[in-house]
């Protein structure tokens, strides 16, 4: 569904007018700048999902995941369109599709499942101990995923730093 919507958006917006990515500007960025941008981009979704899970908003989690899926769908369509012309773009983004998106998918599934329970359990005081145990477990899982995202952002930043410098030579 998200890929079809992405294709429709791509078609309606003129099939992508961006033909060049300025690799030179990327190569001039410091590691801290690249890491900051990467971490900020990656962490916002996870923090939003954690908050929505805690307040039991499973539907909003799925809507947010839908938006992210459309974004990745548009990126995949752009890659398919340009991979023949610009293999460099694929090299910069393939880790997002094969590493980051699966992490995002699993975390969303876990959060959505927990969210359904938290919404029901908040209304029933008799199972508050069970609810506290589930929330404590979810917080541990969330912290683990946040550490994974931090590590991914760190490694990805080094990857982009090295690759961008190789591309401008």
pLDDT, mean of residues 59-72: 85
| 132 within a domain of the structure (yes/no) | yes
Question: Which of the two residues, 127 and 157, has the higher pLDDT score?
Answer: 157
| 122 within a domain of the structure (yes/no) | yes
Under DSSP, the state recorded for 15 is: S
| 19 within a domain of the structure (yes/no) | no
| 26 within a domain of the structure (yes/no) | no
pLDDT, mean of residues 95-117: 88
| 17 within a domain of the structure (yes/no) | no
Residue 115: exposed, middle, or buried by beta-carbon count in 10 A (0-12, 13-18, 19+)? buried
- Indicate whether 56 pLDDT > 90: no
CB 146 within 8 A of CB 48: no
| 150 within a domain of the structure (yes/no) | yes
Under DSSP, the state recorded for 57 is: -
The range of the structural domain enclosing residue 37 comes to 2-12+31-167
| 21 within a domain of the structure (yes/no) | no
Structure tokens at 141: 């899982």
Distance set, CA 158 to CA 40, 59, 93, 153 (Å): 16, 36, 13, 9
- Indicate whether 131 pLDDT > 80: no
* Domain count within the chain: 1
| 163 within a domain of the structure (yes/no) | yes
Give pLDDT, residue 111. Answer: 92
Distance set, CA 87 to CA 34, 73, 81, 91 (Å): 21, 18, 11, 6
């Amino acid at each position: 569904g998200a890929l079809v919507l992405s294709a429709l958006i791509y078609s309606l917006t003129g099939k992508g007018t961006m033909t060049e990515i300025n690799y030179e500007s990327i190569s001039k960025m410091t590691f801290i700048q690249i890491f900051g941008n990467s971490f900020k981009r990656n962490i916002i979704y996870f923090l939003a999902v954690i908050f929505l899970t805690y307040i039991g908003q499973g539907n909003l989690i799925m809507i947010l995941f839908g938006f992210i899926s459309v974004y990745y769908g548009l990126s995949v369509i752009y890659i398919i369109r340009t991979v023949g012309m610009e293999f460099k773009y694929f090299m910069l983004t393939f880790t997002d599709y094969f590493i980051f998106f699966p992490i995002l998918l699993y975390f969303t599934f876990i959060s959505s499942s927990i969210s359904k329970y938290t919404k029901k359990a908040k209304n029933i005081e008799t199972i508050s101990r069970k609810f506290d145990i589930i929330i404590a477990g979810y917080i541990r899982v969330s912290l683990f995923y946040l550490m994974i995202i931090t590590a991914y952002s760190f490694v990805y930043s080094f990857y982009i730093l090295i690759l961008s410098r190789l591309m401008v030579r």
